[in-house]
């Protein structure tokens, strides 16, 4: 029992300790002119869906709920955001060439259709980010039209 207590205290200290390591917040006040929503005529329901389901990891601005400010959750999230933004940043959409836009749109469509995105670890907490069948169809159709119009 004594050993358990000691271990517990050590771990507690470690847990409290890591709270002091700063995390780079993915937050920005301004939306650049190159943003996907600004350069494309996106219907409001699709805008809303993308904002809720994609923009947390694929833009310069993440909506942080309280638990995402607690370590090590924040670290975990930070890694995902970094990776997500490297892959696709909706805020910088218009800086891509048409060729790259077409590639990205193809990937967006594939990933939403197959349910790979949004990631399961994300929708686990953000239930509202899940795509219903109807939403999938709508967004995929929009993205396909956009790809054809490039």
Partner 1 sequence: MSKLKLVLGIVAIAFVTLTAVSCKDAKTDKNNSTEHHSEMNADGDHSKMNHDNSDGHHDGEKKEMTMNGNGTSQAVLNDYFNLKDALVADDNAKAKNLGAVLAKSLGSLDISKYTEAEKSELKEIIEDAVEHAEHISESDIAHQREHFKVLSKDMTDMVAITGTKVKLYEQFCPMYDGGTAWLSTKEEVRNPYYGSKMLKCGKVQREIN
Where do contacts with partner 1 occur on this chain (CB under 8 A)?
A: 4-5, 7-8, 11-12, 14-15, 18, 71-73, 75-76, 79, 97, 99-100, 102-103, 106, 110
CB 24 within 8 A of CB 78: yes
8 vs 39, which CB is nearer to partner 1? Answer: 8
50 vs 105, which CB is nearer to partner 1? Answer: 105
Residues 6+ apart with CB under 8 A from 137: none
**Closest distance to partner 1 from the beta carbon of 42 (Å):** 23
Residues 6+ apart with CB under 8 A from 102: 147, 150
**Closest distance to partner 1 from the beta carbon of 101 (Å):** 10
CA distance 140 to 108: 8
**Closest distance to partner 1 from the beta carbon of 121 (Å):** 11
């Amino acid at each position: 029992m004594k050993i358990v207590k000691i271990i517990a205290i050590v771990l507690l200290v470690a847990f409290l300790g890591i709270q002091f390591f700063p995390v780079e917040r993915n937050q920005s006040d301004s939306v650049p002119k190159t943003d996907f929503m600004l350069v494309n005529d996106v219907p409001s329901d699709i805008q809303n869906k993308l904002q809720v389901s994609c923009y947390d990891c694929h833009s310069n601005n993440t909506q942080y709920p309280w638990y995402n400010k607690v370590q090590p959750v924040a670290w975990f999230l930070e890694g995902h955001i970094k990776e997500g933004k490297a892959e696709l940043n909706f805020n910088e959409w218009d800086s891509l060439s048409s060729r790259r836009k077409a590639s990205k749109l193809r990937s967006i469509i594939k990933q939403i259709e197959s349910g790979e995105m949004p990631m399961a670890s994300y929708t686990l907490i953000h239930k509202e980010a899940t795509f219903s069948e109807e939403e999938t169809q709508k967004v995929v159709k929009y993205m396909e039209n956009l790809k054809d119009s490039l």
